[in-house]
Amino acid sequence: MPPHPAFFIRRRVLGRVGPLEASYRFAADFDFMLRALHVQQLRSTYLPRELVKMRVGGETNSSVMNVLKGNIEAYKSCRKYGLGVSPLFIARKILRKLPQYR
């Protein structure tokens, strides 16, 4: 999944992807990119340069509970679009973020 601050799509394809899903408080960006890349099968291009500098943090990463909630939303989004992810998906993502809470 690409970082959301540097994820750009053309205006003409925005209608195919649709707006952010308002029911997701923490994973609306994840759901949007999942719809673009998986559901609509839009092609992506990697640009090997820094476009955005982003600090660690944000609403999702402000607490372990929010990280859990965000990953549950991401899991639900994956399941909604037919990606065969297991509940271990949530555990792996949370374990990756734990070091930032020292």
Q: What is the pLDDT of residues 6-33, one digit of tens each?
A: 888 888 889 999 999 999 999 999 999 9
**Sequence-separated (6 or more) residues with CB below 8 Å from residue 64:** 94, 98, 101
Residue 27 · residue 74 · CB < 8 Å: yes
> Which domain, by its residues, includes 51?
4-101
Residue 33's pLDDT is: 93
Q: What is the pLDDT of residues 49-92, one digit of tens each?
A: 888 887 766 777 667 788 888 889 999 999 999 988 888 877 88
The pTM score is: 0.79
Neighbours of 49 (CB within 10 A): 6
Q: Show the tokens assigned to 19.
A: 């707006």
Residue 86's pLDDT is: 84
The structure tokens 């993502």 sit at: 93
* Overall number of domains in the chain: 1
